[in-house]
Amino acid sequence: MASAPCPQCGHPIHRSHARGFVEKLIRVATGYRVYRCHHCDWRGWILRKRIRDARRLLQTSIALLVVLALVLILAYYVVDRTASAPPPPLFPTE
Ligand SMILES: [Zn+2]
């Protein structure tokens, strides 16, 4: 397997780990992968997986949006609860 060249310096690039929840979602939903160049420290996304089924891509995108919406609603709910009124003892404080 030949690795792709770095877009900046032309050296071979290597797979990099997706950082955090958002990058993992992008990786799963789009087929893009994070790559890194050890020579010049370039880091970026390159499409490695061909998505042939556009319908599946659409379904994945909708599922991604639903998950993001749920996360936002949950985050808003938590912020709203903790901002107003004394917070209930849901989370242990340190
Ligand atoms: Zn490079």
- Ordered by start, the domain boundaries in the chain are 1-50, 52-85
Q: What is the pLDDT of residues 50-62, one digit of tens each?
A: 656 677 888 888 9
29-54 mean pLDDT:
84
Distance (Å) from CA 36 to ligand 1 centroid: 8
User: pTM (2 decimals)?
Assistant: 0.49
Contact call for residues 4 and 26 (beta carbons, < 8 A): no
Distance (Å) from CA 89 to ligand 1 centroid: 50
Distance (Å) from CA 12 to ligand 1 centroid: 7
Q: What pLDDT shows up at residue 2? A: 52
If one compares 2 and 10, the residue with the highest pLDDT of the two is 10
If one compares 75 and 1, the residue with the highest pLDDT of the two is 75
Distance (Å) from CA 42 to ligand 1 centroid: 5
Within 8 A by CB and 6+ apart from 61, the residues are 29
Distance (Å) from CA 47 to ligand 1 centroid: 17
Q: What pLDDT shows up at residue 34? A: 92
Helices 20-30 and 54-83 cross at an angle (nearest 10°) of 160
- Residue 1: pLDDT over 60: no
